[in-house]
């Protein structure tokens, strides 16, 4: 008796990527043996096996391609990931809910006048490179808002990144669909009581480094770092969509809401 044709699924061509962790590699071998594997560039969906670091790397790799990414946690924290379970993967992909997020666009100018562009899914961080605090001037949409901030640094965060470094720096958590970006100081020295700002996601933030040679700083877009920076401009890149897939009831919005209540 014939088993009949194989049922069609929402995503037919699946590519599996894994981190270097042994658990992630073993999970990839198991899933490839069960479902096969295609080249990531031609896949309908990419399944990333690892932690949040791998998810960020995968999102950066396929930046601008609108390729859905479904993560399964074989790492440590796994805030951006789904739980690992292999036998029902096709059904989970069929039922997955999509979250569309946008990265930040950073233009960083160094002491030689060279400008480098990079994107960040979580945050752009401006960090001191020496024992002395950094001194920075903050301008929003061409208007100076803070003439001098003395601090270990400052970061600009997306709603996705609001639960990451931003939260560790005592910044607020944002719902995923909030049309805002966060500006959060890191160990502010002066003005001591400044706790940051909530900005519309259409804002263009300019950070000018004061006394840049005496007080050098680095600019970091997620995992991409540039040293000896004199100016950083950051804005939301609304033209670039990043698609994350999550199991029903475990969307990024739901996870962010849970974070606000401590579980």
Tokens matching residue 104: 């930040």
> Could you tell me if residue 5 is inside a domain?
no
Among all residues, which ones are annotated catalytic? Answer: 52
- Same domain for 95 and 114, yes or no, is no
Tokens matching residue 22: 């042994």
> Could you tell me if residue 50 is inside a domain?
yes
Q: What is the DSSP string of 167-225?
A: HHTTPPP--TT-SEEEEEEEEEEESTT---EEEETT--EEEEEETTTTS-EEEEETTEE
Question: CA-CA distance, 123 to 119, in Å (whole number)?
Answer: 9
- Same domain for 118 and 203, yes or no, is yes
Residue 192: how many other CB atoms lie within 10 Å: 9
- Same domain for 114 and 91, yes or no, is no
Domain count, the chain: 2
> Could you tell me if residue 168 is inside a domain?
yes
- Same domain for 140 and 211, yes or no, is yes
> Could you tell me if residue 256 is inside a domain?
yes
> Could you tell me if residue 6 is inside a domain?
no
- Same domain for 163 and 201, yes or no, is yes
Q: Can you give the residue range of the structural domain that contains 172?
A: 104-236
What is the H or E stretch that residue 148 is in? strand 143-157
- Same domain for 87 and 68, yes or no, is yes
Contact between 99 and 241 under an 8 Å Cβ cutoff? The reply is: no
> Could you tell me if residue 60 is inside a domain?
yes
Residue 232: its pLDDT value, please?
A: 98
CA-to-CA separations, 122 to 54, 60, 71, 143, 217, in angstroms, rounded? 13, 11, 16, 25, 19
> Could you tell me if residue 255 is inside a domain?
yes
- Same domain for 108 and 226, yes or no, is yes
Residue 159: its pLDDT value, please?
A: 93
Tokens matching residue 106: 């950073």
Instruction: List the CATH number of the domain containing 85.
Output: 3.40.50.10330
> Could you tell me if residue 9 is inside a domain?
no
Q: What are the 10-residue block averages of pLDDT along the chain, 263 residues in total? A: 58 95 96 96 96 94 95 88 91 93 97 97 97 97 97 96 93 90 96 94 98 97 97 98 90 74 68
Annotated binding-site members: 52-53, 122-123, 152, 160, 163-168
Contact between 81 and 247 under an 8 Å Cβ cutoff? The reply is: no
Annotated binding-site members for NAD(+): 52-53, 122-123, 152, 160, 163-168
Instruction: List the CATH number of the domain containing 175.
Output: 2.60.200.30
- Same domain for 114 and 228, yes or no, is yes
- Same domain for 92 and 23, yes or no, is yes
- Same domain for 97 and 108, yes or no, is no
């Amino acid at each position: 008796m014939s088993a009949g044709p194989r049922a069609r699924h929402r995503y037919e061509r699946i590519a599996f990527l894994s981190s270097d962790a042994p658990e992630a590699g073993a999970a990839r071998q198991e899933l490839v043996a069960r479902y096969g594997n295609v080249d990531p560039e031609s896949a309908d969906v990419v399944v990333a096996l690892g932690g949040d670091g791998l998810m960020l790397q995968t999102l950066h790799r396929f930046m601008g391609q609108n390729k859905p990414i479904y993560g399964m946690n074989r790492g440590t924290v796994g805030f951006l990931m789904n739980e690992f379970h292999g036998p029902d993967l096709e059904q989970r992909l069929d039922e997955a809910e999509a979250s569309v997020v946008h990265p930040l666009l950073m233009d960083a100018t160094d002491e030689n006048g060279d400008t480098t562009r990079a994107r960040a899914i979580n945050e752009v961080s401006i960090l001191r490179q020496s024992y002395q605090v950094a001194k920075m001037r903050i301008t929003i949409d061409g208007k100076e808002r803070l003439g001098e901030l003395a601090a270990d640094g400052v970061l600009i965060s997306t709603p996705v990144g609001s639960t990451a470094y931003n939260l560790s720096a005592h910044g607020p958590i944002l719902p995923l669909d909030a049309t805002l970006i966060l500006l959060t100081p890191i160990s502010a020295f002066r003005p001591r009581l400044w706790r940051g700002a909530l900005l519309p996601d259409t804002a263009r933030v300019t950070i000018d480094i004061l006394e840049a040679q005496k007080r050098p700083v680095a600019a970091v877009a997620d995992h991409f770092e540039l040293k000896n920076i004199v100016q950083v401009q950051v804005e939301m890149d609304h033209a670039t969509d990043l698609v994350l897939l999550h199991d029903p009831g475990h969307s990024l919005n739901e996870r962010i809401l849970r974070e606000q209540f401590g579980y």
